[in-house]
Amino acid sequence: MTTRTAAPPALDVRDVTVRFAGLTALDDVSFTVAPGTVHAVIGPNGAGKSTCFNVLSGLYRPAQGSVRLGDAELTRLAPHRIAALGVARTFQNIVTTQGTVADNLMLGRHVLSRAGFAASALRLPRAAREQREHLARAREIAELTGLGEHFETPVALLSYGDRKRVELARALCLEPRVLLLDEPVAGMNAGERARTAEVVRDVRAELGLSVVLVEHDMGLVMRLADEVTVLDFGRAIAHGTPDEVRRDPEVLRAYLGTGTTGEDAA
């Protein structure tokens, strides 16, 4: 397996505000994803988590604020330009195509292709060689994500958990420096959730990338995250380690609707 030798740059979100027809979905949100860490963005339904991810991946443009990956300003770039700079994402709902696991993962390699349409269509030697190299790398990523034995299997025949991991693996095929995981274990049973958590840990360790995680499964967040940002009604109300955040009175109020203190909750 090919691993990265250089740490990814920090992902810095500063003073980001998003409005929709007078509704403020994100209100002056700031946080930093340190290189090589898992950073969770959590909050109740409607807190602004999906809007935040859509800003990071270029689907939404904020009314104000900045998103930087190292020295690169991402805020005004199109999604494909952001992907080319090393930011890949998954979605809450499974998005796979017809065909095998290999076919789906090769879609993720498309943005890295250099042979060109004509060379590929004519099956020129350099295009064929590049195709073999991409296929070999896709197989490596399938092995890393626990999909190696299913590489030639039609996606339609896979279990729900495996299909969710196909989407994760396809995102990894872009060779990202930052991986955005939008509810990666939503709808999974306990065994599938545990396997996916293991895969995320392995991916971070093996590839050295940063992970930004949106997830409602607080057990998973507490096990995986190095840092947590909590959103509520579009505002960041807490930052810190998982242990710090789960004892924060503002966080408890947002989730429980009470003035419960960390000591009371314990």
105-145 per-position pLDDT tens digit: 998 887 766 654 444 544 556 667 778 899 999 999 999 99
For residues 256 and 139, the model is more confident at: 139
pLDDT one-digit tens code per residue, 143-167: 999 999 999 999 999 999 999 999 9
- Give the pLDDT of residue 254: 84
Average pLDDT of the segment spanning 216-222: 89
Q: Distance between CA 88 and CA 71 in Å, rounded?
A: 18
- Give the pLDDT of residue 253: 87
| Residue 259 scores a pLDDT above 60 | no
Fold of 11-265: Rossmann fold (3.40.50)
- Give the pLDDT of residue 179: 97
Q: Distance between CA 217 and CA 202 in Å, rounded?
A: 19
**Cα-flanking dihedrals φ and ψ of residue 149, to 5°?**
-70, -15
Name the residue ranges covered by the structural domains of the chain.
Answer: 11-265
| Residue 258 scores a pLDDT above 70 | no
- Give the pLDDT of residue 263: 38
| Residue 261 scores a pLDDT above 70 | no
End-to-end CA distance of the chain: 43
| Residue 94 scores a pLDDT above 60 | yes
In order, the DSSP letters of the chain are: -----SPPPPEEEEEEEEEETTEEEEEEEEEEE-TT-EEEEE-STTSSHHHHHHHHTTSS--SEEEEEETTEE-TTS-HHHHHHTTEEE--SS----SSBHHHHHHHHHGGG--S-HHHHHTT-HHHHHHHHHHHHHHHHHHHHTT-GGGTTSBGGGS-HHHHHHHHHHHHHTT--SEEEEESTTTT--HHHHHHHHHHHHHHHHHH--EEEEE-S-HHHHHHH-SEEEEEETTEEEEEE-HHHHHT-HHHHHHHHSS---HHHH-
- Give the pLDDT of residue 169: 95
**Cα-flanking dihedrals φ and ψ of residue 31, to 5°?**
-165, 165
| Residue 100 scores a pLDDT above 90 | yes
| Residue 262 scores a pLDDT above 50 | no
- Give the pLDDT of residue 164: 92
Amino acid, single-letter form, for residue 249:
P
pLDDT one-digit tens code per residue, 2-29: 444 467 899 999 999 999 988 999 999 9
- Give the pLDDT of residue 110: 72
Question: Mean pLDDT in the chain?
Answer: 87
- Give the pLDDT of residue 98: 81
Give the residue from 180, 177, 250 showing the smallest Cα distance to 214. 180
Q: CA 186 from chain center: how many Å?
A: 14
- Give the pLDDT of residue 121: 47
- Give the pLDDT of residue 112: 64
- Strands 72-73 and 64-69, sheet pairing: antiparallel
Burial of 78 (0-12, 13-18, 19+ CB in 10 A): exposed
Q: Are 228 and 40 in contact (CB under 8 A)?
A: yes
Share of the chain above pLDDT 90, in %: 73
C-beta neighbour count of 114 within 10 angstroms:
8
- Give the pLDDT of residue 256: 65
